[in-house]
């Protein structure tokens, strides 16, 4: 190992890269058995454009297709947010699962047997204590409802036409009418009062900690990977002020970031290429009793951008089926706005009689509900129905207002097909000539532009050289060998560490492949991000003359940086002897640089 390599290795150890090494040969065999394009296209739509495939990036609030997926290189990169990786990284971030779980998922796809030991699948988390507290609380609540003290709660659920099967499947529990029963249990299990309070399951007063949830039926809330992170507690007897109470927001639970039943519904929603959104846990559970399992629920009427992005990961075919009352209508409008921001034009079901899905299914049955789903209307039809309710279309003034309001809505439509359908519908229902309506509609096409990630500029020639060098190193073994022989020092840490990783990978395996390298460094986000920056470059194929120029430019920049440091120190130095010493060093460096040139 060279002196420079030793320094870089020491730097890596100091930075604490902490990589977990497993059997890379088997992992790379698994990766090679699956096609990243096929895997990603099963989650988001991809369109071929030239050699690569493009889709709307699911890792930021994206509207244009800015994610590029390379079939040849078996990697993806987003030109907008910089998300980069191979098939394992995509599954990790999309499914919110660990690296080894992503490997296991690909192994299952490829038919390769992979036996992971329990210790290997454990995911470390700074919030492990909170997850553990919720596991304890879940068992506690479930035990309550299944004991003699849960008899009344179970009778309530039976009267709501739920069976023991649904109670068990959805892990429904019960909080008791006791002051601090859960708190005492958690304290007995040696959880600190600080962590119990952080969990959001308890409050504190002068007498100590006490349970927040009392005498409520508990519907557990899960994150996308299935971990319990909160509760929706429902009053079932007496006159409680709040019918439903959601968990307080904590480090692991943000109300607008999650959807009830998402972890259970995601596979079915992807298989059916459709997801149904409802308002509450009872609506979802009722839908399950009639075999409708591609269904999730908002937590109350809250619906934000995080939830929209979760939905988009399942499908762009979305049906909103909220309660038929005023609150449900308000929630529907809010959800439409949020979904449109992420490029989804949902369909809407307005159940007759102001019913919620739970009530409607109980009263009318499975076939009637499925019929309502089939009659779901598009966003513009929904907006038109609301405008018709507000205006008197039997008068000329009312009709004119309605048409003008619809034209305003049409102008905001991005989908050309939906725009044309809405115009045709408006012409048909109002009898106004199509040309008249078209004249009132503004037509403006906004070209889709994908902006490459901005490369920071210190010294243009240096930046271009170091990025060019790294690009060559990711694509050609000869570039790695030349870099190793040059013994140059790259001043920027992020570039230096990537060069080190490429060199280390080549020395270990005898070849270079970006997708395999990403597997090797999957837990080093800084280096992965730098690879994304490099892969977004539009660079030429490897040639030795360009590589030599790159190495010389980096060496020259390095020397100039050293001279600049001496000059800065010279400005800060007061004694004659120190100034003379530094001045001599500057001259010596310049002479050395000129000789090398």
Please check whether residues 38 and 150 belong to one and the same domain: no
In a domain, 451, yes or no: no
Closest CA to 532 of 455, 466, 450, 448: 455
Please check whether residues 311 and 344 belong to one and the same domain: yes
Residues 6+ apart with CB under 8 A from 362: 161, 286
CATH number at residue 182: 3.90.980.10
Extract the tokens encoding 260: 């009830």
In a domain, 289, yes or no: yes
Q: Model-level pTM greater than 0.75?
A: no
Please check whether residues 193 and 219 belong to one and the same domain: yes
Please check whether residues 370 and 388 belong to one and the same domain: no
Residues 6+ apart with CB under 8 A from 565: none
- CA 534 → CA 72, 440, 464, distances in Å? 16, 47, 11
**Residue 579 confidence (pLDDT):** 52
In a domain, 467, yes or no: yes
**Domain boundary residue among 202, 228, 251?**
251
The residue length of the chain stands at 597
In a domain, 449, yes or no: no
> What separation, in Å, do the N-terminal and C-terminal C-alpha atoms of the chain show?
28
In a domain, 357, yes or no: yes
CATH number at residue 569: 1.10.860
**Residue 117 confidence (pLDDT):** 52
Helices (H), 290-433: 305-314, 326-341, 357-364, 366-374, 379-390, 396-411, 416-430
Q: Give the separation between CA 247 and CA 397, rounded to whole angstroms.
A: 49
In a domain, 496, yes or no: yes
The pLDDT tens digits for 243-292 are: 888 888 999 998 888 899 999 998 899 889 899 999 989 999 999 999 99
- CA 535 → CA 35, 58, 78, 465, 480, distances in Å? 19, 19, 10, 15, 17
The pLDDT tens digits for 534-563 are: 877 766 666 778 888 888 888 887 777 665
CA 215 to chain centre: 36
CATH number at residue 67: 3.90.580.10
Low-confidence ranges of the chain (pLDDT < 50): 1-22, 118-124, 443-457, 582, 593-597
In a domain, 6, yes or no: no
**Domain boundary residue among 375, 403, 423?**
375
**Residue 446 confidence (pLDDT):** 35
**Residue 583 confidence (pLDDT):** 56
Domain range for 177 is: 128-251
Q: Give the separation between CA 103 and CA 100, rounded to whole angstroms.
A: 5
CA 42 to chain centre: 16
Residues 6+ apart with CB under 8 A from 532: 77, 78, 82, 83, 84, 453
Please check whether residues 360 and 279 belong to one and the same domain: yes
Closest CA to 467 of 478, 481, 453, 485: 453
CATH number at residue 412: 1.20.50.20
DSSP annotation of 455: P
CATH number at residue 274: 3.40.1360.10
Q: Give the separation between CA 41 and CA 94, rounded to whole angstroms.
A: 12
Please check whether residues 334 and 394 belong to one and the same domain: no
**Domain boundary residue among 251, 282, 302?**
251
In a domain, 17, yes or no: no
Closest CA to 31 of 98, 89, 117: 89
Total domain count for the chain?
5
Full strand arrangement of the beta sheet holding 347-348: 295-297, 275-278, 318-320, 347-348, 377-378
């Amino acid at each position: 190992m060279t002196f420079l390599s030793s320094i870089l290795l020491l730097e890596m150890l100091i930075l604490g890269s902490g990589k977990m090494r497993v059997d890379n040969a088997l992992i790379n065999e698994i990766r090679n058995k699956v096609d990243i394009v096929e895997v990603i296209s099963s989650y988001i739509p991809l369109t071929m454009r030239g050699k690569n495939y493009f889709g709307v990036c699911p890792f930021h609030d994206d509207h244009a297709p800015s994610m590029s997926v390379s079939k040849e290189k078996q990697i993806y990169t987003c030109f907008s947010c910089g998300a980069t990786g191979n098939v394992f990284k995509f599954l990790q971030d999309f499914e919110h699962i660990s690296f080894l779980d992503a490997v296991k998922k690909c192994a299952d796809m490829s038919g390769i047997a992979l036996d992971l030991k329990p210790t290997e699948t454990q995911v470390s988390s700074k919030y492990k204590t909170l997850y553990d507290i919720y596991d304890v609380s879940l068992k506690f609540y479930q035990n309550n409802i299944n004991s003699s003290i849960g008899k009344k709660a179970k009778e309530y659920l039976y009267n709501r036409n739920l069976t023991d099967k649904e109670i068990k499947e959805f892990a429904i529990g019960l909080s008791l009418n006791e002051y601090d029963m859960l708190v005492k249990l958690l304290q007995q299990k040696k959880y600190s009062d600080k962590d119990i309070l952080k969990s959001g399951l308890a409050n504190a007063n002068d007498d100590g900690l006490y349970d927040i949830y009392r005498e409520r039926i508990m519907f557990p809330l899960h994150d996308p990977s299935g971990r319990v992170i909160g509760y929706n507690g429902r009053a079932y007897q007496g006159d409680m002020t709040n019918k439903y109470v959601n968990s307080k927001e904590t480090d692991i639970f943000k109300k607008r970031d999650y959807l009830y039943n998402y972890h259970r519904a995601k596979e079915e929603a992807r298989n059916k290429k459709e997801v149904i959104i409802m308002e509450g846990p009872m609506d979802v559970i009722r839908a399950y009793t009639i075999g409708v399992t591609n269904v999730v629920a908002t937590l109350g009427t809250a619906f934000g951008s995080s939830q929209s992005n979760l939905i988009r990961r399942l499908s762009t075919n979305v049906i909103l089926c909220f309660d038929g009352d005023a609150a449900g209508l308000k929630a529907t409008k809010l959800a439409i706005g949020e979904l449109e921001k992420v490029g989804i034009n949902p369909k809407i079901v307005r159940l007759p009689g102001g019913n919620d899905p739970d009530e409607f299914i109980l009263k009318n049955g499975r076939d009637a509900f499925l019929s309502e789903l089939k009659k779901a209307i598009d966003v513009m039809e929904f907006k038109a129905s609301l405008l018709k309710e507000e205006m008197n279309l039997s008068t000329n003034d009312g009709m004119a207002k309605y048409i003008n309001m619809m034209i305003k809505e049409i102008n905001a439509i991005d989908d050309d097909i939906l725009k044309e359908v809405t115009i045709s519908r408006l012409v048909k229902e109002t009898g106004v000539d199509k040309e008249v309506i078209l004249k009132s509609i503004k037509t403006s096409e906004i070209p889709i532009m994908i902006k490459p990630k901005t490369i920071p500029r210190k010294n243009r020639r240096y930046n271009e050289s170091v990025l060019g060098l790294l690009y060559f190193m990711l694509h050609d073994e000869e570039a790695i060998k030349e870099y190793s022989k040059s013994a140059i020092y790259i001043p920027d840490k992020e570039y230096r560490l990537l060069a080190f990783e490429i060199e280390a990978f080549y020395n270990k395996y005898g070849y270079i492949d970006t997708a395999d390298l990403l597997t090797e460094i999957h837990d080093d986000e800084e280096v992965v991000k730098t690879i994304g920056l490099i892969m977004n470059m539009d660079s030429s194929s490897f040639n030795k003359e360009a590589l030599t120029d790159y190495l010389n430019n980096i060496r020259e920049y390095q020397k100039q940086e050293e001279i600049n440091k001496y000059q800065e120190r010279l400005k800060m130095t007061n004694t004659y002897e120190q100034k003379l010493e530094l001045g001599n060093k500057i001259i010596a460096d310049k002479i050395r640089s000129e000789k090398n040139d």
